[in-house]
Structure 1
Amino acid sequence: MTEVRHNWTQDEIAEIYHSPLLDLVYRAATIHRENKDYSEVQISSLISIKTGGCPEDCAYCPQAARYNTGVDVHAIMPKEQVLAAAQKAKNGGASRLCMGAAWREVRDNRDFDKVIEMVQAVNSLDMEVCCTLGMLTESQAQRLADAGLYAYNHNLDTSEDDYKRIITTRTYDDRLQTLEHVRKAKISVCSGGIIGLGETEADRISMLKTLSNLPKHPESVPINALVPVKGTPLADQPRVSVWEMVRMIATARIVMPKTVVRLSAGRTEMTTLEQAFCFMAGANSIFAGEKLLTTPNPSFDDDMAMFELLGLTPRKAFKNGRPNIPKELKEMSINEVI
């Protein structure tokens, strides 16, 4: 079995990343097949529970208040609407629901209380619950854990050196500190990045180095291709090629062999054949459903047809065990949490 390492060097990862493409994919596919469930793909659904009006200046994001992108600002979604979306996602084959809010950081207020209630409610559907809400304190992370949160997404986006070009309203250390708080609360960590921001290949390699050298590898690493949005500073960025995505996925698979690597934003531009290459290279998770927060995404029906063609099977929820949540919460019925 492949050794799980936390001491990768920039040069070692660069050598992997720049190896001949077919050799790279073969190596990644071999490592992926050391796991007997290599054909199993986790299906997640991502919904925006609070849209737009974010004070951050992330250069790629249509939800930043300072950019004119045509995204309407919506207050936090009612719990009943979240539950309906979760049930629809589950019916479509998703085992995880990720709820995103356009916040810089979580604040201890009524909106956070509502998120806690949503986490409890979605848990009652027997789905893994993930949140991406911005920066978290230790106590907030623990509160989410106590409510039964399974995973928390907080992407690094790019390398530490490139970060200030993309975001100035928070630091790279802020990102890493939130990941520490999530890990300390024993919540599964989901953290990856975006390619196509105008970064160098060295930046991509450096980001993978940071992720792979964390004390524990993230359980999930999303690899996103930038979807340029009119009105953002990166609106005119050229789209990345599928081969760049394949290189990133394959390299991530090799340096983090046990991690779930998610083929995320950018799938609408890919053919089934191109997505198949990504699965061959080690991707074993996708987002399904018509939207990723505010950007288009393939439908559940399209994805199920692709799974059937490629011989892929959806991964069941809680494969790695349920979070340690209070017994009384586990025993609550859906009627009690509504």
Structure 2
Amino acid sequence: MEIAWDQLVADALEDRPPTRDVARALLQLPDEDTLRLVEAAWRVRRHFFGNRVKVNVLLNAQSGICPEDCHYCSQSRISKAPIPRYRMLSVEEILDRARKAYAAGAQRFCIVTSGRGPHRRELETVLEATRRIKAELPLEICACMGILDEEQARQLREAGVDAYNHNLNTSPRHYARICSTHTFEDRIRTVQTALKAGLQTCTGVILGMGETDEDVLDMAYALREAGATSIPVNFLIPIKGTPLGDGQTVRHLTPWACLRYLSVFRFVNPKAEIRASAGRELHLRSLQPLALMVANSLFLGDYLTEKGQAAEADWQMIEDLGFVPETPQPARPHGVAHPATPAA
């Protein structure tokens, strides 16, 4: 299919997604044409986000205590991966990590707990930690605590949580091959519950789990339909001790393929924050900077149980591109040092 590049961009600037046939053709572009796709995606990214990058820091506030059987996850009940396992951190520990995230230059602090959904003590800890963080630091707070009910979502919003993360992960047709203890529909309901409570929705995907191009397209359009405002695009990190740990499903995740995936999510969801997330270091390798021509967000430092790229390397990449981090709002409170940020 011949791609009408200018029309593709013009439609995206009006928040009109490409047809499925066009999106499929973008996924199937040869490597030598992918730079043209990245340039087109950059025009859309620049229109909506300029040269800004949202910097996020993750906190694994409770690790490895999960009854679910997600095949990609080192924290699931079926995982044999040798990861740290610990109960919920205290409010003071979470507050201390938030201070460090702000000092490192983060705009959003993501509090993640393992489990199907939050127990009362876990929820109360996150609520109090959020209130304490908001009283001291100009950080956005994103919570990720599994399946929510309406009352839990309401309490999170009232405490000051800005966004709720609950990834769709894969397509409806592929979901049963990845997890049997909950469904794709369970995840959609949680996203809808968060939206109803007034929370922003952070919901994304994990690529490299045996999905087809049609599954990828299903995910991209499902995220649009769900009203996702923030979309983390993760590339599977095969972890030994998990069912997907042998690396067989990620062989197609070349740097150019990863750029095509990111670009399709950008064109289908042009106004959404697209985050180049876990696995970018492993699969994009030396082409990582091109990912930020498409995505406008990243995680700084480490992921939940896996190491990420050194924060200094991320800041250098942002600076080399001529990009600048988004500034936390409101202005920092008295007595809190300003984070070190690269020159614009």
Contact 1:155 1:191 in 2 (8 A): yes
Paired position in structure 2 for 1:209: 221
Contact 1:92 1:301 in 2 (8 A): no
Superposed, 1:76-87 pairs within 5 Å as: 76-87=88-99
Paired position in structure 2 for 1:246: 259
Distance 1:69 1:94 in 2: 29
Paired position in structure 2 for 1:326: none
Paired position in structure 1 for 2:281: 268
Match of residue 15, structure 1, among 20, 25, 32: 25
- Structure 1 residue 38, shift from structure 2 partner: 2.4
Matched, 1:32 2:39: no
- Structure 1 residue 252, shift from structure 2 partner: 1.1
- Structure 1 residue 195, shift from structure 2 partner: 0.7
Distance 2:197 2:51 in 1: 31
- Structure 1 residue 271, shift from structure 2 partner: 6.7
Distance 2:34 2:316 in 1: 27
Report Cα offsets for 1:86-129 as digits up to 9, x if no partner. 1111111111100110010123x222111111111222211000
Distance change in 2, residues 1:139/1:162 (3 Å): same
Paired AA for residue 198 in structure 1 = G
Distance 1:201 1:267 in 2: 19
Give the aligned CA root-mean-square deviation in angstroms. 2.2
Structure 1: segments with no counterpart, 5+ residues: 320-330
Distance 2:283 2:78 in 1: 31
Structure 2: segments with no counterpart, 5+ residues: 1-9, 337-344
Distance 1:33 1:49 in 2: 34
Paired AA for residue 309 in structure 1 = D
Superposed, 1:1-338 pairs within 5 Å as: 2-5=13-16, 10-19=20-29, 20-35=33-48, 37-107=49-119, 109-124=120-135, 125-214=137-226, 216=227, 218-238=228-248, 239=250, 240-269=253-282, 273-280=286-293, 282-289=294-301, 291-318=302-329
Paired AA for residue 234 in structure 1 = L
Distance 1:212 1:143 in 2: 26
In the superposition, the TM-score normalised over structure 2's length comes to: 0.86
Contact 1:83 1:121 in 2 (8 A): yes
Of all paired residues, the percent bearing the same amino acid is: 35
Distance 2:19 2:281 in 1: 34
Contact 1:46 1:97 in 2 (8 A): yes
Distance 2:114 2:77 in 1: 10
Paired AA for residue 111 in structure 1 = E
Paired position in structure 2 for 1:324: none
Paired AA for residue 146 in structure 1 = E
Paired AA for residue 312 in structure 2 = D
